[in-house]
Structure 1
Amino acid sequence: MKMNVKKELDPRTVLGIVFIFITLGLAINKPLSSHILLLICNIYLITSKAYRECVLYSVIYIIIAGLMFYIYHIPNTTLALTIVSISYFVQKFVIAVMMIEFLKRKTSMPYVISAMQTMKFPNAVAIPFIVILRYMPTLREDYGYLKDSLKIRGIRTSGIEFFIHPIRSLEFMIVPILFRSIRVAEELSTSVLLRGIENYKNRTNIYPLKFTKIDAGYALFTVIAVSMLFYLQF
């Protein structure tokens, strides 16, 4: 996950927007509210010029919504409940990923860290969040290497293959990634601690933060969007 160096928005504005809509994505359960939330997230992605991601995540969401629409025609109750459960969590995950993509496009790691220090985030929150952001590029690289290794061995790794052979997919894909993730997460945590993240003294901030008219525009749109979602949901 390569983050931009240029600061287009104040990172505090971006963090607030991401937190609000990820929380709403978890709280909303009505179909109309969920569809409107997807549209709002698409608007944020379009403003950050993430057109490919916008189309990709929208297609995934629409496919899941289509499965949910035809769920009543499935006679097998167990299969229907399984599809509903998986679809529900995938929809929540798509919204979260879209907002993380917005965070990645609209700010940079130094500014995010600067914003969290300025807002006096507790280390129990700041350290895991920073480690997650730092870990994403490594996770993507490891996943690519693993897929290449499996292709050499003649093992297919498509999404359809996961549903056809879920146990085998877990064995070949998920388990190696989990073991690798544990090791890398420990290394990143150690690196963050060695850099003095737990030092409670005030630090010099070389990344100035300032709200602008663009931030005000985003904030106004967010307030309107949240109000509309609350009206539709509650």
Structure 2
Amino acid sequence: MRIKAIKINPTLVLFFNLLIPTLFMFMAAYPLNYILMAFASLVLVISGKLKRTLILISIYGLLWGGNIFFSTVLSVGSLAIFCVLMMQFMPCFMMATILFRDYTTAELLSALERLPLPRNLVVAVIITLRYVPTFKREFGYIKESMRLRGIAFTWKKPIESFRYFIVPQLFRCTALAEEVTSAGLVKGIDANIKRTSYYEQRFNKSDGCLALLLIIGIVWAGLWKI
């Protein structure tokens, strides 16, 4: 069955991604975690990412089962806590996949420029979001280079193996930073005039409904134990 995808405003997705981890600092994890997980799943589904939703829900189920297994059967508190922390992180990760995989740099920049934010902050956020996929790709290149040189990653020597990954990545960070800066200057990112954009990122009814639904869920979670 093909689901008609709804394009959600990138600003709203970014706000959700910042709000979700903040809520755990002031509210009890349960039932808030279940509500946020259901909300993140809903956002992915209406965005047309059903396969990704099922995969991430399966991972969440494995973490939930691992928490029960380690806390009741094996009585290993550290592993149980690790599973709980990963469960709390999962809704945030689900929302982050939308930003990293489903929006272009131009779409994100067009949405953020509508907000009353300093331009330097907007540029920094865009570069950070775009660098995460690049960081992952660079690790793939490093792994391939290690394979060609006969260097294998082994848990027997974690520090040495980690060094093979992180040292080339640090050097690549410097080169990529210069490339990103040059590309931004060529595109006039430092200009003091307001830029036009091919993409018109505006809030619509679906964005308002999602925001209202999240607020209702948060209020319900806050009143759960009262």
- Whichever residue aligns with residue 172 of structure 2, its letter is R
Deviates more, 1:120-129 or 1:184-193: 184-193
CA distance in 1, matches of 2:25, 2:186: 35
Aligned CA distance change for structure 1 residues 199 and 137 (closer, same or farther; 3 Å): same
**Aligned residue in 2 for 1:222:** 214
Change (3 A) 1:31 1:148: farther
Q: Does 1:115 align with 2:111?
A: yes
Q: Which runs of 5+ in 1 are unaligned?
A: 1-5
Aligned CA RMSD, in angstroms, stands at 3.6
Paired positions, count: 221
Say whether the 8 Å CA contact 1:7–1:107 is kept in structure 2.
no
Alignment of structure 1 residues 61-76 onto 2, 5 Å: 61-69=60-68, 70-71=70-71
Distance verdict in 2 for CA 1:75–1:216, change over 3 Å:
closer
Alpha-carbon separation, structure 2, partners of 1:145 and 1:208: 36
Alignment CA distance shift 1:101-1:227 (3 Å): same
Equivalent position amino acid for 1:140 in 2: K
- Residue 3 of structure 1: aligned partner: none
Q: Does 1:137 align with 2:152?
A: no
Cα distance in 2 between the residues matched to 1:140 and 1:88: 25
Of structures 1 and 2, the one with the larger relative CO (CA 8 A, separation 6+) is 1
Report the CA distance between 1:142 and its aligned residue: 1.6
Q: 1:192 Cα shift? A: 2.6
| 1:95 to 2:91 alignment | yes
**Could you state the TM-score of these two structures normalised by the residue count of structure 2?**
0.73
Match of 1:126 among 104, 122, 128: 122
**Residue of structure 1 equivalent to 2:194:** 202
Q: CA offset at residue 202 of structure 1?
A: 2.9
**Aligned partner (choices 107, 126, 144) of residue 148 of structure 1:** 144
TM-score normalised over the length of structure 1: 0.71
Cα distance, 1:232 vs structure 2: 4.3
Report the CA distance shift for 1:59/1:74 in structure 2 as closer, same or farther (over 3 A): same
Gaps of 5+ in 2: none
User: What CA distance in whole angstroms lies between the structure 1 residues aligned with 2:192 and 2:59?
Assistant: 44
Identity %: 26
Q: Which stretch of the first structure deviates more once superposed, 64-73 or 36-45?
A: 64-73
1:131 Cα shift?
0.6
